[in-house]
Amino acid sequence: MTDTLSDPVEQYELITKGLQEVLNPQIIKNVLENEKRPLKLYWGTAPTGKPHCGYFVPMIKLAHFLKAGCEVTVLVADLHAYLDNMKAPLEVVKYRAGYYENVVKAILTSINVPIEKLKFVLGSDYQLNPEYTMDLFKLSNKVGQNDAKRAGADVVKQVANPLLSGLIYPLMQALDEQYLDVDVQFGGVDQRKIFVLAEENLQSIGYKKRAHLMNIMIPGLGQGGKMSASDPNSKIDILEEPKIVKKKINSAYCAPGDIKDNGLLAFLEHVIQPIQSLKAGKETFNFFIDRPDKYGGPITYESLDQLKSDFESEKLSPVDLKSGMADKINELLAPIKEKFNSNKEFQEFGEKGYPVEKPKEEKKVKKVKNKGTRYPGSDKAPASSDASVEKATEALDQTKLN
């Protein structure tokens, strides 16, 4: 990655590049233009399910922030993971936190982002302090339960009988801005309601309002919906095997000519092209498809717009797009998998954080002992067929005659 920017206008443009929404941009501009210091921001991730390819999107933005001269903190929110309807049990959450940190570092390294400029913080390292707890009590005295529930609706797992932990979750996320001493919090657009809760309530307990940056959410492999760790069919894991990647891409929703509801094209636009541009230091795009000769032979696209146009006009088929996508994703994941395979600690975090469940043994069905039919209470009559009754009657009549 090239040297950091120093012009406030260029910095702001890069910081906000490709985002879906920016709340309180004046806070960011004031820091860059008037205070003339590095912007301090944080991105948080709760270590629940295994990270998937959607994580490339925030990683690209972390690269942009660093290039814009920002001081970037990555919060591995272990307690948030536990509070989210106990998606991560306490006994494994510390291993998942270690796994997430290693995944984030591996992704960033694979796209040439200098991780030594990043600061990694574990939530439980400061969220259990008395001061933080007292502020949590203060904030809970300001925020109504309906507001807290609404704030976490798009982030915390929704169940029929919600746990109180789901109400605590957004309050803690708001407080993290103060305790990490940042100007900005960055996250997906699904975090918007929590960001608004922070903006509306932090000042009520004496803390300043922050700006908020929101990324787009990458669509999943199915029709509609985001790529989600809780839906294995919607996502490709960061350590997915090449064969599984191809299998999942081949079964992905990809209607001929449809360029709007297409997770593969969205991935090309929001992951593949930005990563290529990051590595090249300029806007670029290169997408190779090893197409069979009978369908026109191999083809290379050097323009995403041209690729989209060909797909929309059905010059490029879903089969060929999927073939190129599977190869490109496997290429992206290869250095991350290599990092995992060469790091024993990384592997241990994976094994203990996501233990493979042993298949449940089927209970042996007790065979009913065949006691025969000649015992008291037997449902089956003791073979008292009509023939046997007739024989008994005949024998009785014969006795009488004698």
The pLDDT value given to residue 384: 46
pLDDT attached to residue 374: 54
Q: Can you give the pLDDT at residue 156? A: 83
CATH number of 242-353: 1.10.240.10
Cα Rg, the chain, nearest whole Å: 31
Query: How far apart (Å, rounded) are the C-alpha atoms in residues 174 and 139?
Result: 9
Query: Beta-strand (E) ranges in 46-151?
Result: 71-76, 118-122
The confidence score (pLDDT) of residue 389 equals 46
How much is the pLDDT for 4?
78
- Residues 6+ positions from 62 with CB-CB distance below 8 Å: 43, 72, 74, 108, 113, 118
Q: Start-end ranges of CATH 3.40.50.620 in the chain?
A: 8-215
Buried b / exposed e over 262-288, threshold 16 CB at 10 Å, is bbbbbbbbbbbbbbbebeeeeeebebe
Sheet of 71-76, strands arranged across: 21-23, 211-215, 184-188, 40-45, 71-76, 118-122
DSSP string covering 160-186 = SS--THHHHHHHHHHHHHHHTT-SEEE
Element (H, E) at 59: helix 56-67
Output the pLDDT for position 348. 97
Helix (H) or strand (E) holding 250: helix 242-250
What's residue 385's pLDDT?
A: 47
* Amino acid 392: pLDDT: 47
Please list the ranges in the chain whose pLDDT falls under 50: 380-385, 389, 392, 396, 399-402
Element (H, E) at 22: strand 21-23
Q: Report yes or no: 86 and 39 within 8 Å, Cβ to Cβ.
A: no
The secondary structure element, H or E, covering residue 21 is strand 21-23
pTM above 0.95, yes or no: no
pLDDT the model gives residue 401: 47
Architecture of domain 8-215: 3-Layer(aba) Sandwich (3.40)
Note the Cα 257 to chain centre separation in Å.
28
Specify the pLDDT at position 84: 85
Q: Report the pLDDT value the prediction gives residue 89, as an integer from 0 to 100.
A: 81
Where are the extended beta strands (E) located within 178-241?
184-188, 211-215
Query: Measuring CA to CA, which residue among 214, 212, 263 is closest to residue 53?
Result: 263
Which residues make up the CATH 1.10.240.10 domain(s) of the chain? Answer: 242-353
Q: Which of 112, 102, 120, 121 is nearest to 67 (CA)?
A: 112
Q: Three-class SS of residue 400? A: helix
Is the separation of the CB atoms in 55 and 65 below 8 Å?
no
Q: What is the largest CA-CA distance in the chain?
A: 131
Answer whether 71's CB lies under 8 Å from 180's CB.
no
The residue assigned the tokens 């609404």 is 150
Whole-Å CA distances, 137 to 115, 193, 205, 224: 35, 20, 10, 39
Tens of pLDDT along 314-356? 999 999 999 999 999 999 999 999 999 999 999 999 999 999 8
